[in-house]
């Protein structure tokens, strides 16, 4: 009786998966910066002290674009993990790429906040609250996970030197601050009493997590610049990432101060209101100093021939957090100067977003960014 031999497969499964959706192999977590940078335009624009006719409608369109981009990117990244798991794991073990995993959480949080701020006009308030609650929860959990996982990998798996330090290392540490700044939007929709107070204090705890971690990391980044000189041309825009924790923390204390009277009694409610100004004004001053320094370094890099890279998106979300921070200070101090500052920063945000979005679309259509 003849025996039939079945030859075993010699092609490993990862190689087979690599032939599927080849463009997705190069889709890293840094692409979430596009969603963050788009969502902050809508969020900052709708809260500006000065509102022009049609401005809210424009913000709704930008929010819809960010929500669609998030849905597409989440699907594409799922395909990346499904078909190119080896590359996804390699990204986590690459000290230059792993910090960008913090962007996914911030993208979820930013789109969720936009849904509640402007999306409610389109989908209705109940649906907007539900959507934001889901996105906020997912973004906060993911952000806390990456705030622990990425530093852990940097200590035990990555082999990094001080010369490699860059503002990109701040990305997983900023995510909890974004949660602290956007969590107050949900407080009015919670039952009065314990639930609101718990949410308020949880947001302050997230504020502390991010602030103290950032204070540990910033000296390394600044020390690298002083000792090692300017960053490589393509990384120069990442200098603006330092504005993220500065602007977002200022936004957080102002947003929390707004919700304190609804959540906690005296004297804490008044103390939180005072803290928003006492903390926010000095930090905004340092943010403006860093903004000028980063802009000077960016101009130097441009003269040296800096071309487009996805790092250009670092010019969007961090600047947007400074817009919302200045808006909060204008609300709590009543100073017109902060309203002007918020407006000027928002115009800067619009210009950088248009530049980054235009070059990104061109790179996608030409296949330069995601080669097939």
Token code pair at residue 313: 């998106």
Half-sphere exposure of 339 (CA within 13 A, CB side): 9
- Rounded CA-CA distance 205/331 in Å is 24
Q: What is the predicted pLDDT for the residue at 160?
A: 82
- Positive or negative, the CA dihedral 280, 283, 285, 290 is negative
Of the candidate ranges 84-93, 274-283, 296-305, the one whose mean pLDDT is the lowest:
84-93
Which of 50-59, 75-84, 317-326 has the least mean pLDDT?
75-84
pLDDT at position 204 over 60: yes
Q: Give the pLDDT of residue 259.
A: 96
Are the C-beta atoms of residues 300 and 233 closer than 8 Å to each other?
no
Closest Cα partner for 108 from 182, 2, 12?
Answer: 182
* Residues 6+ away with beta carbon under 8 Å from 326: 250, 284, 338, 339, 341, 342, 345
Q: Report the alpha-carbon distance of residue 5 to residue 44 in Å, rounded.
A: 67
157 pLDDT band (50/70/90 cuts)?
A: confident
Give every CB contact of residue 247 below 8 A, 6+ residues apart in sequence.
284, 287, 318, 319, 320, 321, 322, 323, 324, 325
The first and second tokens of residue 116, run together, are 């509640």
Please calculate the CA angle 164-105-352 and round it to the nearest 5 degrees.
70
Closest C-alpha to 168, from 282, 71, 313 = 313
Predicted model pTM: 0.91
82 compared with 294, residue with greater pLDDT: 294
Q: Choose the CATH number for 24-360 among 1.20.1250.20, 1.50.10.150, 3.20.20.70, 2.120.10.30.
A: 1.50.10.150
Nearest to 35 by CA among 100, 131, 121: 100
Domain residue limits, the chain: 24-360
Confidence tier at 19 by pLDDT (50, 70, 90): low
* pLDDT value at residue 112: 97
């Amino acid at each position: 009786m003849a025996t039939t031999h079945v030859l075993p497969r010699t092609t490993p499964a990862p190689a087979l998966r690599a032939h599927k959706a080849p463009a997705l192999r190069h889709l890293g977590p840094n692409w979430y910066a596009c969603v963050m940078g788009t969502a902050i335009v809508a969020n900052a624009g709708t809260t500006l002290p000065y509102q022009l006719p049609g401005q809210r409608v424009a913000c709704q369109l930008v929010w819809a674009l960010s929500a669609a981009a998030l849905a597409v990117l989440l699907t594409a990244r799922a395909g990346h993990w499904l078909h190119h798991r080896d590359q996804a794991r390699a990204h986590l073990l690459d000290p230059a790429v792993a910090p960008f995993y913090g962007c996914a959480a911030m993208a979820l949080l930013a789109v969720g906040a936009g849904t509640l701020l402007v999306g409610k006009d389109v989908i209705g308030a109940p649906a907007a609250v539900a959507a934001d609650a889901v996105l906020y929860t997912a973004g906060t959990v993911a952000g806390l996970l990456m705030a622990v996982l990425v530093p852990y990998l940097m200590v035990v798996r990555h082999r990094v030197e001080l010369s490699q330090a860059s503002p990109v290392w701040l990305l997983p540490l900023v995510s909890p601050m974004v949660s602290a700044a956007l969590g107050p939007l949900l407080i009015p929709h919670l039952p009065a009493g314990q639930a609101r107070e718990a949410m308020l204090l949880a947001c302050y705890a997230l504020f502390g997590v991010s602030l103290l971690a950032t204070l540990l990391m910033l000296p390394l980044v600044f020390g690298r610049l002083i000792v090692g000189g300017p960053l490589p041309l393509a990384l120069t825009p990442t200098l603006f990432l330092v504005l993220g924790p500065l602007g977002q923390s200022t936004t957080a204390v102002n947003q929390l101060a707004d919700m304190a009277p609804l959540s906690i009694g005296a004297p804490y409610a008044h103390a939180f209101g005072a803290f928003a100004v006492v903390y926010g004004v000095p930090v905004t001053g340092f943010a403006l100093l860093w903004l000028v320094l980063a802009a000077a370094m960016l101009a130097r890099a441009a003269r040296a021939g800096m071309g487009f890279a996805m790092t250009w998106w670092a010019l969007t979300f961090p600047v947007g957090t400074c817009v919302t921070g200045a808006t909060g200070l204008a609300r709590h101090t009543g100073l017109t100067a902060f309203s002007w500052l918020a407006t000027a920063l928002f115009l800067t945000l619009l210009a950088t977003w248009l530049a980054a979005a235009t070059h990104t679309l061109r790179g996608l259509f030409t296949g330069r960014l995601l080669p097939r």
